[in-house]
Structure 1
Amino acid sequence: MGFAENRGPYWRARYKIAPGKYGTVKDPTGATVRFLTRRAAEQAAQDEESRVRAGTWRDPSAGRISFGEYANQWFAEQDLAASSMQGYRYAIEVHLLPEFETSPLADIRRGDVNGWEKREKESYAVNSVTTWRKILHLILADAVEEGLIESNPAAKRRGRGKRAGRSSVRGPEKAIVSPLQGLLLAERAALLSGRDDEFVGCVTKQYTGARWGELVGLETEYVRPEAIRIEWQLYELDSGELLRCPPKDDSYRTVDAPAFLTGLIMDHIRRTRPEPCHCHGKRYVFRGLGTARTHRPGAKLIDVARRAGVSTGTVSNVLNRPERVAEATRQRVEAAASELGFIPNHALSPAAPHWRRNGFATWVFQPAVTGWYPKKAPQEARPVPLLGEPWPGVPVRGRNAAGRADACWVPIRPGLTPHGLRHGHKTDMDGLRTEKALKDERMGHTDSSISAHYSHVTNDMRQNLMQGLTRLWEEALEQRRELCSGSPVAVLDGLLRGLS
């Protein structure tokens, strides 16, 4: 039973915590409360002891641990996917510790959290700040469970403290493309990279809905005549390391693929003959761009071949064994090399083992979508300079590229991102009236509802979808051929000529 203890000029309240262990009533700062009367001390002691018996008692001094110390302990105890751990580390080190590191947990108030959030939104995207607040909420929620603080100051009461109406965190609708736009995008990406890898990669993403990491991490052994097996992904860490790990949310799955797509991928594998990469020892379907390609764009040997209308072997002979080439052909190749600003040493740069998200999105995907290169000091954003023939134009690189160009691209779909191709695949399946169970299976989504538990995928569903996707592809090819019967991209050129 709680009791009052006389300390001379004041009384202090004592209560039983456990057999042989007593506590003293303290204020939120951890200081002993000094009562003026015995009765007041006894009442406070009894109140605390009743909380002990009810299991709701918390040691006031426990909340004096600093946020920084607790956050470091909390992070060390987490065992999550590498992507989640990376996001948590960034949020804690860059955005939470600078504000709350030295503050005792018990001293953090709701107003402190709201004020920090408001200041962060002045400098960062709203969605990012919302994510960082959720991480702060998780940390403090665990502190509540451990008895360090009584309530979570990062918890939000729904609808309190903000105006009604359209949500301020609601972003614009995700941009998607039609089958023809996706085909034109893939063609441009191949022209920008100077090879067919990007064409095959963009088409694969558009017709399977694979996530970026799953596409980069697609190994040759998982490409089958009628399907693609999603078994691994390559996740790019902030350090630049590509981590081979299971797909997001363990969404292992077999994605049915139309015959045109598996044929395209298998032809690509036979043509490129992938070797095991030095970082994982695995053979991957898609290679990255060479290091020099990302930092010093320049025409490649295949660009010269396309411009001159000859094979890459003929260009190689002009460079190394000109006596084996007819004079007229040699002059045509040399003229094409001059127009494109071709540098032989750059053509010999080895391909990187894997795509990099930023390099691909910045220097291949976005220029293909918008027709503009991004701003990069000392250069401002600028249109992709083109030689207009053959259609849809061959990018000009090297010194005075803009001066030698005679055309540029119009935008295909402003706002489109690589992930937008995944959204587009889902939308295409909606348009083909694909059953929800099959859509969830292909996208790697999980539906835990009762109705989903009783839904199953049949062979007829799969066949109908494959027929629908094939029809979309064939219609896009026909529409592309109406624009021009050929293409500077070899693989697409073969497909177009096969329609004749």
Structure 2
Amino acid sequence: MGYAEKRTGKDGPYYRARYKISPGKYGTVADARGTTIRFGKKRDAEKAADDEEAKVRAGSWRDPATGKTPFLDYASRWYAAQDLALSTMESYKGNLEVHLLPFFGDMEIGAITAFDIAEWEKGKRAADYSPASINNFRGTLHLILADAVDDDLLESNPAARRRGRGKRAGRTSVRGPEKVITDPLGALLLAERAALLAGRDDEFVAMVTKYYTGMRWGELVGLETEYARLRSIRVEWQLYELNTGVLHRCPPKDDSYRDIDAPAFLSRLLSDHIARTGPEPCACHGRSYVFRGAHASNGATKRPGAKLVDVARRAGVSTGTVSNVLNHPGRVADETRLQVEQAITELGFVRGAAGGETAPHWRRNGFATWLFQPAATGWYPKKSPYPEHPVPVLAEPWPGVPARGRNATGRADSCWTPIAKGLTPHGLRHSHKTFMVELGVPKPLQDERMGHMDGSVQGRYSHVTKEMRGRLLEDLTAAWESAVDARFAMNPRSPVSTLDEVLRTRARKVSEQGRGEVRRRTLGLT
């Protein structure tokens, strides 16, 4: 039985509740912070002591002293005990070191209250962190404190939200901006611009692949040549970019290994691209990848300057012809040579300014900032000391060749209008999913392509059939052809050689179909 022990303090007499923990060991009833509770009445102390002894006998008693463990000590042990995907470990580490430990690190874990967490969250909002980011940080804190409850360091989790509490306006107070998506024509135009900005066709093929497969960024960057197969793409690995800048070869997110059915046009684009670029194993992983980095790996990325291919596009000749003008001008006709020299002057081309060894892989931030965003919006982002500004473009050939080098803005005579302002590379994955919904693709096939898992009963009893796959491939092909036709109506040629060949091939096919239809009508067959 517990008992009440009379004590005298500076405020007068009081009782503390004492209870038996084990033979020869007694404890004192304390609050969540470990502070002894002072009772004014003896019977109240005896009741509290009996309640604690009942917990001891039931095996549910928790030693108040354990709550005195510093949050830093417990969080360090908690992180070391995790065995999760490298990307998740990186996320937890960043959340701890940057956002949680500076505030909670020195606090006793048992002393952390919901009010402390509310104060921390309010500070994050004042620092202009987005609601989604704050929820991410708080999610890590919730996991740590939930495990602390399981380890008997806490009675309850102070990071758990009570539904409807602490919100000024329900869900709308933390609602993020809607994800921007685009349609097949938008994706085609964006891919063309990305190729023009990069000065090569690789980005055109990559962006078309991403839109028509819904692959994640890491899966696209990590696509090895052996997995770009006829009529399908095998997602077996991804390249995940760590905070250190290292690209880690690891399984796809949530082990979403899968085969993505590829329409015939996409298989042709990929096979032609691989044949043209001849990928070699990279030094960092020893694997041959379908796509490689867009710029030089030795810092030449930051050095502005038109590329040889830009001059060729501007002059309407091959890169070999430009090379001959630079190295063997006597081999080139005078008219062509003057045409190339004029393009060199207009573009501000400086020989060797954009040289350097090409980086083996894209970097997420560099690709999104200097290729994808300018292609989608027509604007370069703010980069100190330069403000946000339009992409300077020379109008011919259509849709315009980006001007580079000194006084690029002064030499430009046009600019690009936005295709989808706010679109991100991941937005192409959202676009693919949304487009499948629009086409009425059955959910099991949607989940298979996206690498999602449906754990419901309906998901368990629903399966993908050959007919479903066939209809989807037909619909994707029709969407591609419609987008190509719309692009052809804008201009029948493109300075991107891959797209230019697609436009010419499509024009020949439509022309042949038109002649065939006229012939059938003439013979009275239709």
In which range does the TM-score fall when normalised by the shorter chain?
Answer: over 0.9
Deviations 1:337-382 (A, max 9, x none): 1211112213432211001111110000010011111111121111
* 1:110–1:308 Cα change, 3 Å: same
How much has 1:397 moved relative to structure 2?
A: 0.3
Correspondence for 1:76 among 74, 80, 83: 80
Deviates more, 1:396-405 or 1:288-297: 288-297
How much has 1:74 moved relative to structure 2?
A: 1.2
In the other structure, the counterpart of 1:397 is 404
* 1:32–1:112 Cα change, 3 Å: closer
Q: Quick check: 1:112 aligned with 2:116?
A: yes
Question: In the aligned structure 1, how far is the partner of 2:435 from the partner of 2:38?
Answer: 72
How much has 1:36 moved relative to structure 2?
A: 8.2
Question: In the aligned structure 2, how far is the partner of 1:19 from the partner of 1:232?
Answer: 59
RMSD: 2.1
In the other structure, the counterpart of 2:327 is 320
In the other structure, the counterpart of 1:287 is 292
Other structure's SS at 2:65 match: helix
Q: Which amino acid aligns with 1:108?
A: I
Alignment of structure 1 residues 61-140 onto 2, 5 Å = 61-123=65-127, 124-140=129-145
Please list every run of 5 or more consecutive structure 2 residues that lacks an aligned counterpart in the other structure. Answer: 509-526
Alignment of structure 1 residues 151-166 onto 2, 5 Å = 151-164=156-169
* 1:177–1:13 Cα change, 3 Å: closer
* 1:51–1:394 Cα change, 3 Å: same
Q: Which amino acid aligns with 2:95?
A: A
| Residue correspondences, number | 500
In the other structure, the counterpart of 1:378 is 385
- Does the 8 A contact of 1:294 with 1:359 survive in 2? no
- Does the 8 A contact of 1:385 with 1:401 survive in 2? yes
Deviations 1:128-156 (A, max 9, x none): 11111121111111111111121211111
In the other structure, the counterpart of 2:519 is none
- Does the 8 A contact of 2:304 with 2:354 survive in 1? no
Question: In the aligned structure 1, how far is the partner of 2:407 from the partner of 2:289?
Answer: 37
Deviations 1:435-465 (A, max 9, x none): 1110110011111111111111111110110
In the other structure, the counterpart of 2:462 is 455
Correspondence for 2:270 among 248, 265, 272: 265
Alignment of structure 1 residues 390-429 onto 2, 5 Å = 390-429=397-436
Q: Which amino acid aligns with 1:205?
A: K
Alignment of structure 1 residues 178-189 onto 2, 5 Å = 178-189=183-194
Q: Which amino acid aligns with 2:141?
A: L
Correspondence for 1:55 among 59, 70, 74: 59
Q: Which amino acid aligns with 1:64?
A: K
Correspondence for 1:339 among 346, 371, 375: 346
Question: In the aligned structure 2, how far is the partner of 1:44 from the partner of 1:221?
Answer: 70
Q: Quick check: 1:208 aligned with 2:213?
A: yes
Deviates more, 1:319-328 or 1:127-136: 319-328
In the other structure, the counterpart of 2:232 is 227
Other structure's SS at 1:180 match: helix
Deviates more, 1:40-49 or 1:388-397: 40-49
* 1:28–1:475 Cα change, 3 Å: closer
How much has 1:326 moved relative to structure 2?
A: 2.6
* 1:198–1:52 Cα change, 3 Å: same
TM-score scaled by length of structure 1: 0.95
- Does the 8 A contact of 1:4 with 1:38 survive in 2? yes
Q: Which amino acid aligns with 2:229?
A: R
Deviations 1:363-420 (A, max 9, x none): 0001001111111112111111111011000000000001111111111111111111
Other structure's SS at 2:441 match: coil
Q: Quick check: 1:299 aligned with 2:306?
A: yes
Deviates more, 1:484-493 or 1:169-178: 169-178
* 1:36–1:168 Cα change, 3 Å: closer
Question: In the aligned structure 2, how far is the partner of 1:28 from the partner of 1:407?
Answer: 68
Correspondence for 2:172 among 167, 172, 177: 167
In the other structure, the counterpart of 1:469 is 476
TM-score scaled by length of structure 2: 0.90
Other structure's SS at 1:346 match: coil
Question: In the aligned structure 2, how far is the partner of 1:186 from the partner of 1:65?
Answer: 55
- Does the 8 A contact of 2:301 with 2:354 survive in 1? no
Q: Which amino acid aligns with 1:323?
A: G
Deviates more, 1:413-422 or 1:213-222: 413-422
